[in-house]
Amino acid sequence: MSLPKDLYVGFTGSPLDRAEPVRHDPEALRALATDPAALLLEMPDYLPPTENCALAWAPFTPLPAEETLLLGLIDNIPRFARIDPQAVAAKRWAELMTLLDSLSPGEAGIYAAARSVLDWHARHRFCANCGAKTAPHHAGWARLCPACGTEHYPRTDPVVIMLAEYEGRVLVGRQAAFAPGRYSALAGFVEVGESIEEAVARELHEEAGVVATSVRYIASQPWPFPSQLMVACIATVADDAITLDLTELEDAKWVERAEVEAALRGDEDAVFGAPPRYAIANSLFNAWLAGR
Ligand SMILES: [Zn+2]
Protein backbone atom coordinates (compact mmCIF):
# COMPACT_ATOMS: atom_id res chain seq x y z
CA MET A 1 0.00 0.00 0.00
CA SER A 2 1.35 3.42 -0.82
CA LEU A 3 -0.14 6.49 0.81
CA PRO A 4 0.49 9.84 -0.90
CA LYS A 5 2.47 11.25 2.04
CA ASP A 6 3.72 14.18 -0.03
CA LEU A 7 0.14 15.12 -0.96
CA TYR A 8 -2.30 16.66 1.53
CA VAL A 9 -5.53 14.64 1.35
CA GLY A 10 -8.29 15.60 3.79
CA PHE A 11 -9.86 12.92 6.03
CA THR A 12 -6.89 10.53 5.55
CA GLY A 13 -4.17 9.42 7.96
CA SER A 14 -6.46 8.63 10.90
CA PRO A 15 -4.49 7.32 13.89
CA LEU A 16 -7.35 4.94 14.84
CA ASP A 17 -6.48 1.28 15.40
CA ARG A 18 -9.92 -0.08 14.53
CA ALA A 19 -9.41 -3.15 16.75
CA GLU A 20 -11.60 -5.23 14.45
CA PRO A 21 -11.31 -8.54 16.41
CA VAL A 22 -12.84 -6.85 19.48
CA ARG A 23 -16.07 -6.29 17.52
CA HIS A 24 -16.63 -10.06 17.59
CA ASP A 25 -15.47 -10.63 21.18
CA PRO A 26 -18.07 -9.48 23.78
CA GLU A 27 -15.67 -10.01 26.69
CA ALA A 28 -12.91 -7.94 25.11
CA LEU A 29 -15.48 -5.25 24.25
CA ARG A 30 -16.70 -5.17 27.86
CA ALA A 31 -13.09 -4.76 29.04
CA LEU A 32 -12.59 -1.75 26.76
CA ALA A 33 -15.96 -0.23 27.70
CA THR A 34 -15.16 -0.44 31.43
CA ASP A 35 -11.59 0.90 31.02
CA PRO A 36 -11.53 4.07 33.18
CA ALA A 37 -9.36 5.76 30.54
CA ALA A 38 -11.95 5.17 27.76
CA LEU A 39 -13.09 8.28 25.88
CA LEU A 40 -16.24 9.34 24.02
CA LEU A 41 -16.62 11.43 20.88
CA GLU A 42 -19.88 13.27 21.49
CA MET A 43 -21.38 14.58 18.27
CA PRO A 44 -24.67 16.35 18.81
CA ASP A 45 -25.94 17.28 15.31
CA TYR A 46 -22.87 15.45 13.85
CA LEU A 47 -20.65 18.50 14.31
CA PRO A 48 -17.12 17.58 15.47
CA PRO A 49 -16.31 18.74 19.02
CA THR A 50 -12.95 20.53 18.77
CA GLU A 51 -10.41 22.13 21.06
CA ASN A 52 -7.00 23.55 20.10
CA CYS A 53 -7.23 22.26 16.52
CA ALA A 54 -7.98 18.66 17.62
CA LEU A 55 -11.03 16.59 18.43
CA ALA A 56 -12.23 17.09 22.03
CA TRP A 57 -12.95 13.75 23.76
CA ALA A 58 -15.22 13.36 26.80
CA PRO A 59 -14.97 10.72 29.56
CA PHE A 60 -16.80 7.52 28.61
CA THR A 61 -19.18 5.53 30.79
CA PRO A 62 -20.55 2.20 29.44
CA LEU A 63 -23.64 2.54 27.22
CA PRO A 64 -26.33 -0.02 26.37
CA ALA A 65 -25.13 -2.36 23.58
CA GLU A 66 -27.52 -0.79 21.04
CA GLU A 67 -25.95 2.63 21.62
CA THR A 68 -22.29 1.53 21.64
CA LEU A 69 -19.98 2.23 18.71
CA LEU A 70 -16.37 1.20 19.30
CA LEU A 71 -14.37 3.50 17.04
CA GLY A 72 -11.12 1.79 18.05
CA LEU A 73 -7.98 2.62 20.01
CA ILE A 74 -5.62 5.57 19.90
CA ASP A 75 -2.48 5.30 22.05
CA ASN A 76 -4.10 2.13 23.49
CA ILE A 77 -6.99 4.20 24.88
CA PRO A 78 -10.45 2.93 23.84
CA ARG A 79 -12.51 5.42 21.82
CA PHE A 80 -16.28 5.25 21.57
CA ALA A 81 -19.19 7.13 20.01
CA ARG A 82 -22.90 6.90 20.85
CA ILE A 83 -25.39 5.54 18.33
CA ASP A 84 -28.58 7.59 18.26
CA PRO A 85 -31.09 6.41 15.61
CA GLN A 86 -33.05 9.65 16.03
CA ALA A 87 -30.02 11.84 15.28
CA VAL A 88 -30.40 14.42 12.52
CA ALA A 89 -27.45 16.27 11.03
CA ALA A 90 -27.52 19.99 11.70
CA LYS A 91 -27.82 22.08 8.54
CA ARG A 92 -24.89 24.28 9.61
CA TRP A 93 -22.59 23.66 6.67
CA ALA A 94 -20.52 26.85 7.06
CA GLU A 95 -19.85 26.10 10.75
CA LEU A 96 -18.93 22.50 9.88
CA MET A 97 -16.50 23.68 7.17
CA THR A 98 -14.80 26.05 9.63
CA LEU A 99 -14.44 23.23 12.19
CA LEU A 100 -13.00 20.88 9.54
CA ASP A 101 -10.52 23.56 8.45
CA SER A 102 -9.19 23.64 12.02
CA LEU A 103 -8.49 19.88 12.14
CA SER A 104 -5.51 17.95 10.77
CA PRO A 105 -6.43 15.42 8.01
CA GLY A 106 -5.96 12.54 10.49
CA GLU A 107 -8.22 14.09 13.14
CA ALA A 108 -10.79 14.84 10.46
CA GLY A 109 -10.42 11.17 9.42
CA ILE A 110 -11.53 10.01 12.88
CA TYR A 111 -14.53 12.33 12.58
CA ALA A 112 -15.28 11.02 9.07
CA ALA A 113 -15.39 7.39 10.23
CA ALA A 114 -17.56 8.20 13.26
CA ARG A 115 -19.96 10.42 11.34
CA SER A 116 -20.46 7.96 8.48
CA VAL A 117 -21.19 5.02 10.80
CA LEU A 118 -23.49 6.98 13.15
CA ASP A 119 -25.40 8.45 10.22
CA TRP A 120 -25.68 4.98 8.60
CA HIS A 121 -27.34 3.65 11.79
CA ALA A 122 -29.84 6.52 11.76
CA ARG A 123 -30.74 5.90 8.09
CA HIS A 124 -30.77 2.07 8.09
CA ARG A 125 -33.03 1.04 10.95
CA PHE A 126 -34.97 -1.59 9.00
CA CYS A 127 -33.93 -4.80 7.25
CA ALA A 128 -33.58 -4.41 3.47
CA ASN A 129 -34.35 -8.13 3.16
CA CYS A 130 -37.57 -8.53 5.18
CA GLY A 131 -38.49 -5.08 6.54
CA ALA A 132 -38.16 -5.91 10.26
CA LYS A 133 -36.50 -3.51 12.70
CA THR A 134 -32.75 -4.19 13.04
CA ALA A 135 -30.36 -3.57 15.95
CA PRO A 136 -26.67 -2.57 16.19
CA HIS A 137 -24.29 -5.54 16.11
CA HIS A 138 -20.51 -6.13 16.19
CA ALA A 139 -19.79 -3.13 18.46
CA GLY A 140 -21.73 -0.82 16.14
CA TRP A 141 -20.06 -1.90 12.87
CA ALA A 142 -23.09 -3.85 11.63
CA ARG A 143 -26.83 -4.25 12.18
CA LEU A 144 -28.54 -7.59 12.71
CA CYS A 145 -32.09 -8.46 11.71
CA PRO A 146 -33.69 -10.52 14.50
CA ALA A 147 -36.42 -11.78 12.13
CA CYS A 148 -34.39 -13.22 9.22
CA GLY A 149 -30.84 -13.20 10.62
CA THR A 150 -29.37 -10.98 7.86
CA GLU A 151 -26.34 -8.89 8.84
CA HIS A 152 -26.12 -5.43 7.31
CA TYR A 153 -22.86 -3.46 7.04
CA PRO A 154 -22.17 0.27 6.50
CA ARG A 155 -21.69 0.90 2.79
CA THR A 156 -19.28 3.13 0.93
CA ASP A 157 -20.30 4.56 -2.43
CA PRO A 158 -17.43 5.18 -4.89
CA VAL A 159 -17.41 8.54 -6.65
CA VAL A 160 -14.89 9.47 -9.34
CA ILE A 161 -13.57 13.03 -9.32
CA MET A 162 -11.32 14.03 -12.17
CA LEU A 163 -9.46 16.70 -14.03
CA ALA A 164 -9.50 16.43 -17.80
CA GLU A 165 -6.12 17.55 -19.16
CA TYR A 166 -5.34 18.87 -22.64
CA GLU A 167 -2.08 20.52 -23.73
CA GLY A 168 -1.12 21.98 -20.36
CA ARG A 169 -4.59 23.04 -19.26
CA VAL A 170 -7.24 21.35 -17.10
CA LEU A 171 -11.02 21.45 -17.24
CA VAL A 172 -12.94 22.90 -14.29
CA GLY A 173 -16.69 23.13 -13.89
CA ARG A 174 -19.23 24.70 -11.58
CA GLN A 175 -22.63 23.55 -10.38
CA ALA A 176 -25.32 26.16 -9.80
CA ALA A 177 -25.25 25.36 -6.05
CA PHE A 178 -21.54 26.26 -5.68
CA ALA A 179 -20.47 29.45 -3.92
CA PRO A 180 -20.08 32.37 -6.38
CA GLY A 181 -16.90 32.02 -8.45
CA ARG A 182 -16.13 28.50 -7.19
CA TYR A 183 -15.05 25.94 -9.80
CA SER A 184 -13.92 22.39 -9.13
CA ALA A 185 -13.03 19.08 -10.75
CA LEU A 186 -15.93 17.22 -12.37
CA ALA A 187 -17.33 14.27 -10.41
CA GLY A 188 -19.94 11.54 -10.45
CA PHE A 189 -20.95 8.24 -8.86
CA VAL A 190 -19.42 5.03 -10.23
CA GLU A 191 -22.31 2.99 -11.64
CA VAL A 192 -22.87 -0.71 -11.13
CA GLY A 193 -20.80 -2.71 -13.63
CA GLU A 194 -18.21 0.04 -14.27
CA SER A 195 -14.50 0.29 -13.60
CA ILE A 196 -13.07 3.52 -12.19
CA GLU A 197 -11.52 4.35 -15.57
CA GLU A 198 -14.82 3.75 -17.37
CA ALA A 199 -16.71 5.93 -14.88
CA VAL A 200 -14.19 8.77 -15.37
CA ALA A 201 -14.53 8.55 -19.16
CA ARG A 202 -18.34 8.38 -19.03
CA GLU A 203 -18.74 11.31 -16.63
CA LEU A 204 -16.36 13.54 -18.60
CA HIS A 205 -18.23 12.76 -21.80
CA GLU A 206 -21.71 13.17 -20.26
CA GLU A 207 -20.98 16.43 -18.43
CA ALA A 208 -18.56 18.19 -20.77
CA GLY A 209 -18.52 16.24 -24.04
CA VAL A 210 -14.77 15.53 -23.86
CA VAL A 211 -13.31 12.13 -24.80
CA ALA A 212 -10.78 10.53 -22.44
CA THR A 213 -7.86 8.73 -24.09
CA SER A 214 -6.11 7.69 -20.85
CA VAL A 215 -6.92 7.83 -17.12
CA ARG A 216 -4.45 7.82 -14.24
CA TYR A 217 -5.26 7.33 -10.56
CA ILE A 218 -3.96 9.95 -8.10
CA ALA A 219 -5.42 9.38 -4.60
CA SER A 220 -8.62 8.57 -2.72
CA GLN A 221 -10.49 10.04 0.22
CA PRO A 222 -13.38 9.01 2.47
CA TRP A 223 -16.08 11.70 2.30
CA PRO A 224 -18.52 11.45 5.20
CA PHE A 225 -21.50 13.34 3.72
CA PRO A 226 -22.82 10.72 4.08
CA SER A 227 -20.42 7.93 3.03
CA GLN A 228 -18.63 8.27 -0.30
CA LEU A 229 -15.18 7.12 -1.31
CA MET A 230 -13.79 9.83 -3.58
CA VAL A 231 -11.43 8.41 -6.22
CA ALA A 232 -9.35 11.18 -7.76
CA CYS A 233 -7.96 10.80 -11.30
CA ILE A 234 -6.47 12.82 -14.12
CA ALA A 235 -7.61 12.01 -17.65
CA THR A 236 -5.92 13.04 -20.89
CA VAL A 237 -8.57 13.96 -23.46
CA ALA A 238 -8.58 14.01 -27.27
CA ASP A 239 -9.39 17.71 -27.78
CA ASP A 240 -10.64 20.77 -25.92
CA ALA A 241 -14.13 21.24 -27.44
CA ILE A 242 -16.68 21.44 -24.60
CA THR A 243 -20.31 20.35 -24.94
CA LEU A 244 -21.91 21.22 -21.62
CA ASP A 245 -24.71 19.22 -19.98
CA LEU A 246 -26.60 22.12 -18.40
CA THR A 247 -28.58 19.80 -16.13
CA GLU A 248 -25.30 18.90 -14.37
CA LEU A 249 -23.11 21.97 -14.75
CA GLU A 250 -23.71 25.69 -15.00
CA ASP A 251 -20.35 26.30 -16.66
CA ALA A 252 -17.04 24.64 -17.50
CA LYS A 253 -13.78 26.09 -18.80
CA TRP A 254 -10.13 25.29 -19.41
CA VAL A 255 -7.62 26.85 -17.02
CA GLU A 256 -3.85 27.15 -17.22
CA ARG A 257 -1.21 26.30 -14.64
CA ALA A 258 -0.76 29.91 -13.44
CA GLU A 259 -4.53 30.28 -13.09
CA VAL A 260 -4.74 27.13 -10.92
CA GLU A 261 -1.83 28.38 -8.80
CA ALA A 262 -3.57 31.73 -8.28
CA ALA A 263 -6.84 30.00 -7.33
CA LEU A 264 -5.10 27.75 -4.78
CA ARG A 265 -3.34 30.78 -3.29
CA GLY A 266 -6.73 32.48 -2.99
CA ASP A 267 -5.64 35.50 -5.05
CA GLU A 268 -8.39 38.09 -5.31
CA ASP A 269 -8.06 38.32 -9.11
CA ALA A 270 -7.93 34.53 -9.66
CA VAL A 271 -10.17 33.40 -12.53
CA PHE A 272 -11.90 30.91 -10.24
CA GLY A 273 -12.29 30.10 -6.54
CA ALA A 274 -10.66 26.78 -5.52
CA PRO A 275 -12.40 24.08 -3.46
CA PRO A 276 -11.48 23.96 0.26
CA ARG A 277 -8.22 22.33 1.35
CA TYR A 278 -9.80 19.21 2.89
CA ALA A 279 -11.69 18.42 -0.37
CA ILE A 280 -9.79 16.01 -2.61
CA ALA A 281 -10.45 18.30 -5.58
CA ASN A 282 -7.97 20.67 -3.93
CA SER A 283 -5.43 17.80 -3.60
CA LEU A 284 -6.05 16.94 -7.24
CA PHE A 285 -5.11 20.45 -8.40
CA ASN A 286 -1.93 20.24 -6.30
CA ALA A 287 -1.09 16.80 -7.71
CA TRP A 288 -1.52 18.11 -11.27
CA LEU A 289 0.71 21.13 -10.57
CA ALA A 290 3.33 18.76 -9.11
CA GLY A 291 3.33 16.80 -12.37
CA ARG A 292 1.82 13.57 -11.11
ZN1 LIG B 1 -34.66 -9.29 8.00
DSSP-derived 3-state class of residue 162: strand
pLDDT, tens digit, for every residue of 132-146?
999 999 999 999 999
Rounded distance from Cα 225 to ligand 1 centre (Å) = 27
More confident residue, 43 or 272: 272
pLDDT, tens digit, for every residue of 59-91?
999 999 999 999 999 999 999 999 998 888 888
Rounded distance from Cα 138 to ligand 1 centre (Å) = 17
Rounded distance from Cα 127 to ligand 1 centre (Å) = 5
Return phi, psi of residue 96, to 5°.
Answer: -60, -45
The DSSP result for 218-262, as a single string, is EEEEEETTTTEEEEEEEEEES-------TTT-SEEEEEEHHHHHH
Using 50, 70 and 90 to split pLDDT, how confident is the model at 3?
low
The pTM assigned to this predicted structure is 0.93
Residue 273 scores a pLDDT above 50: yes
Return phi, psi of residue 287, to 5°.
Answer: -65, -40
Mean pLDDT of 257-270: 97
Rounded Cα gap, residues 203 and 275, in angstroms: 19
Rounded distance from Cα 149 to ligand 1 centre (Å) = 6
pLDDT for position 1 = 46
pLDDT for position 86 = 84
pLDDT for position 14 = 95
Residues of the chain above pLDDT 70, percent = 98
Write down the mean pLDDT value for the chain. Answer: 95
